[in-house]
Amino acid sequence: MIEILFYLLSAITLGSAFITILSKNPIHSAIWLVVCFFSIAGHYALLNSQFLAMVHIIVYSGAIMILMLFTIMLMNLNISNEISKPLVTKIVATIAFCLVGLVLVSALTQTAPAFDAYVNSGQDYQSIQVLGKVLMNEFVVPFEMTAVLLLMAMIGAVLISKKDKKIA
């Protein structure tokens, strides 16, 4: 059952990713990307990572896709005027990508799964409770630094959008 679901989800992920790249209309690409993100969230759920799946749907399918659609619409990119790259660029890009893919695949196929046998620890490591405890104990400094990062990004957004008094 799970195997069938996995192959189904993988087919949807790959298929929608291909259509995202190949479709001429940017809006269609964005919508197909949503499908792709949802199916990746499905993969997370299959791996028993409910929290990650939810966050993925909220952040990627929700926030980031809306941002992308807004950008496309605001900048009037939906009129497709694709600049076709010269053939040499395409060939070089394909070769470079194949080489990177070869390295990644060959490195990752050598890996053995870290755990051969599953041990039931009796604790649900996917629960938000455990995650919160880890964040607040072991990883409290990075957690606080992320707060600094967000504060800084906010100040930056204000700085760029603030009007100069002289021009206004």
In the complex, the residues that contact another protein under the rule CB under 8 A are 103-104, 107-108, 110-112, 114, 137-142, 145-146, 148-149, 151-153, 155-156, 158-160, 162, 164-167
Least CB distance to another protein at residue 39 (A): 21
Least CB distance to another protein at residue 153 (A): 6
48 vs 146, beta carbon nearer another protein: 146
Q: Are 2 and 46 within 8 A, CB to CB? A: yes
8 vs 140, beta carbon nearer another protein: 140
SS3 annotation, 99-162: HHHHHHHHHHHCCCCCCCCCCCCCCCCCCHHHHHHHHHHCCHHHHHHHHHHHHHHHHHHHHHHC
SS3 annotation, 28-55: HHHHHHHHHHHHHHHHHHHCCCHHHHHH
54 vs 135, beta carbon nearer another protein: 135
Least CB distance to another protein at residue 29 (A): 18
Least CB distance to another protein at residue 43 (A): 16
1 vs 76, beta carbon nearer another protein: 76
What gap in Å lies between CA 96 and CA 90, rounded to an integer?
Answer: 10
11 vs 96, beta carbon nearer another protein: 96
Q: Are 58 and 66 within 8 A, CB to CB? A: no
Least CB distance to another protein at residue 115 (A): 11
Q: How far is CA 150 from the centre of its chain?
A: 19
